[in-house]
């Protein structure tokens, strides 16, 4: 077990290195086609909870969203952003659109580890059998990635599970995307070919396990600089259901909170107080 953990840590150290990240896992910080060509590309309304994870290319932001985010973030450029929260397609889709909208690179630490270890099942087995080794690998990866600017990193739960990793997230802005647990459970069941409507017992069991995990981690998620809740966004916009929230709604709320954080930091610096 110790040898496997050491091998995984060594592999991760090299793989997480900015110079060796696989191109398919890396989004260059270049303007999307809709901006660089000066054309407004019509796209369908980007829902926060599509049926599956979308690719970076499918999450090309509108010119209007690009304009709004550019006006908001201003001098924020090059500060890394770390996204935490329960792993699900909504979290990843929101993170990808955020990266595209502010013209940042996008990476997902769990996907990087899957590549190192040989897939989702291998990562799950490693995490469950050697929790300490998993955290060591996550720490090594964060040490490498926190040196990168203009990066949006979608983090796994290992990023919030010890003080060392939480400290590394202070190198940038950490954001907790809080999604309804029902949506996360549906993702889990879908990965096993199960549907909640046809197998309510499986849904109940998965929800019980997930709620326990959420209760254990929510305080750690909560130390993030910014929290964006899907339920709160739905309420603020007057939607009757979270299903009406779009990916663009979520990105705009994230950017608004980043803008507020920048203003607060500027005021505290002007007053000579530590931030």
The reply to whether 17 falls in a domain is no
Mean pLDDT of 204-216: 93
Indicate whether 52 belongs to any domain.
no
Residue 35 reports pLDDT greater than 70: no
Burial (CB < 10 A; 0-12, 13-18, 19+), residue 76, is middle
pLDDT for residue 15 is more than 80: no
**Percent of the chain predicted with pLDDT > 90:** 35
Angle at 187 between CA 65 and CA 59, to 5 degrees: 20
Q: Is residue 50 part of a domain?
A: no
pLDDT at residue 42, rounded to an integer: 39
The answer to whether residue 204 is domain-embedded is yes
Would 53 be classed as within a structural domain? no
CA dihedral (213, 214, 219, 223) positive or negative: positive
Residue 8 domain-assigned? no
Q: For 49-90, write each residue's pLDDT tens digit.
A: 777 888 888 888 888 888 888 877 766 667 889 999 999 999
Structural domain boundaries, residue 216: 59-261
For residue 268, tell me if it sits in a domain. Answer: no
For residues 207 and 182, the answer to whether their CB atoms sit within 8 Å is: yes
Residue 70's pLDDT is 81
Among 75, 73, 123, CA closest to 98: 73
Residue 178 is assigned to a structural domain of this protein = yes
Per-residue pLDDT at 233 exceeds 70: yes
Q: How many CB atoms lie within 10 A of CB 238?
A: 7
In tens, the pLDDT along 167-208 reads 999 988 999 999 999 989 988 888 777 766 677 888 899 999
CATH of the domain at 224: 3.40.50.300
The predicted-structure confidence for 106-165, as pLDDT tens digits, reads as follows: 999 888 888 877 888 888 888 888 888 888 888 888 888 877 878 999 998 889 998 899
Over 90: is that where the pLDDT of 265 sits?
no
Domain count, the chain: 1
For helices 89-101 and 247-270, what crossing angle results, to 10°?
A: 60
Radius of gyration of the chain (CA): 19
The torsion region of residue 119 among left (phi > 0), alpha (psi -120 to 50) and beta comes to left
The more confidently predicted of residues 241 and 266 is 241
Q: What's the half-sphere exposure (Cβ side, CA atoms, 13 Å) at 151?
A: 22
To the nearest whole percent, how much of the chain has pLDDT over 70? 78
Which residue's entry shows tokens 């926190």? 146
């Amino acid at each position: 077990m110790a040898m496997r953990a050491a091998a995984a840590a060594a592999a991760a150290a090299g793989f997480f290195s900015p110079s060796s990240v696989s191109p398919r896992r890396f989004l260059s910080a270049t303007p999307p086609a809709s901006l660089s060509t000066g054309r407004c590309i019509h796209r369908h309304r980007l829902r926060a909870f599509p049926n599956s994870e979308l690719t970076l290319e499918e999450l090309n932001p509108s010119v209007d969203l690009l304009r709004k985010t550019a006006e908001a973030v201003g001098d924020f450029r090059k500060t890394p952003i770390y996204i935490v929260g329960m792993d699900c397609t909504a979290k990843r889709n929101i993170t990808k659109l955020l990266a595209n909208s502010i013209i940042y690179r996008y990476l997902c630490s769990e996907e990087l580890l899957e590549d190192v270890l040989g897939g989702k099942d291998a990562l799950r087995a490693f995490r469950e059998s050697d929790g300490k080794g998993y955290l060591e690998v996550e720490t090594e990866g964060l040490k490498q990635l926190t040196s990168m600017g203009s990066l949006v990193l979608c983090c796994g739960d290992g990023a919030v599970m010890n003080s060392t990793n939480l400290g590394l997230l202070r190198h940038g802005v950490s954001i907790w995307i809080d999604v309804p647990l029902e949506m996360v459970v549906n993702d889990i069941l879908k990965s096993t070919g199960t549907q909640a409507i046809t197998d309510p017992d499986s849904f109940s069991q998965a929800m019980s396990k997930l709620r326990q995990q959420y209760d254990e981690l929510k305080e750690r998620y909560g130390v993030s600089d910014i929290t964006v809740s899907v339920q709160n966004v739905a309420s603020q916009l007057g939607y009757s259901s979270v299903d009406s929230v779009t990916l663009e709604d979520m990105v705009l709320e994230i950017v608004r909170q980043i803008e507020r954080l920048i203003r607060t930091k500027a005021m505290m610096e002007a007053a000579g107080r530590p931030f």
